Amino acid sequence: MSEYPSNCLYTKDHEWVAVEGDVATIGITDYAQGELDAITFIELPAMGDLLEVGGACGTIEAVKVAEDIFSPVAGEVVDVNGALEDEPEIVNNSPFDDGWFFKVKLSNTDDLTDLMDKDAYLAMVGE
């Protein structure tokens, strides 16, 4: 099981958000990858896409599950993790590091105030 980073924020959709300056990196939590089980396909937003808070911006699939990826923040996509296209299982193996999804240049840092810290998130998923 992967360690939950304390410097990340978390969403009720089981995403993590790591902020450095005005750029947020987004991925899914260890709990989420465990619930999905073997991830077979990830569709990420494209570079330059403008995301809104809560907007569906991609898909994550296991054999018999398909979930939308919702952006927890607003802004422009400035980087995507291309490695996931061919090796989506990276997310199962390393959800908090190599398995990151995409990076967003934040248009409004106020979006972050609604997110949970590590303890609140772990309490939510009952761990």
Cβ nearer to other proteins, comparing 38 with 47: 38
Which sign, positive or negative, has the C-alpha torsion 76, 5, 36, 86? positive
65 sits near other proteins (criterion: CB under 8 A): yes
46 sits near other proteins (criterion: CB under 8 A): no
Q: Minimum CB separation from other proteins for residue 112, in Å?
A: 28
Q: Minimum CB separation from other proteins for residue 99, in Å?
A: 16
Asked if residues 105 and 83 have their Cβ atoms less than 8 Å apart, the reply is: no
Which residue among 5, 22, 47, 66 contacts other proteins (CB under 8 A)?
A: 66
123 sits near other proteins (criterion: CB under 8 A): no
Tokens standing for 41? Answer: 């396909």
Strand ranges, E, within the chain: 9-10, 15-20, 23-28, 39-43, 50-51, 56-62, 66-70, 75-80, 102-106
Which residue among 6, 48, 64, 126 contacts other proteins (CB under 8 A)?
A: 64
Interface pattern 89-108 for other proteins (x via CB under 8 A):
x-------------------
Interface pattern 5-44 for other proteins (x via CB under 8 A):
---------------------------------x-xx---
N- to C-terminal Cα separation, the chain: 12
The single residue listed with the structure tokens 């990076």 is 103
Coil, strand or helix at 80: strand
47 sits near other proteins (criterion: CB under 8 A): no
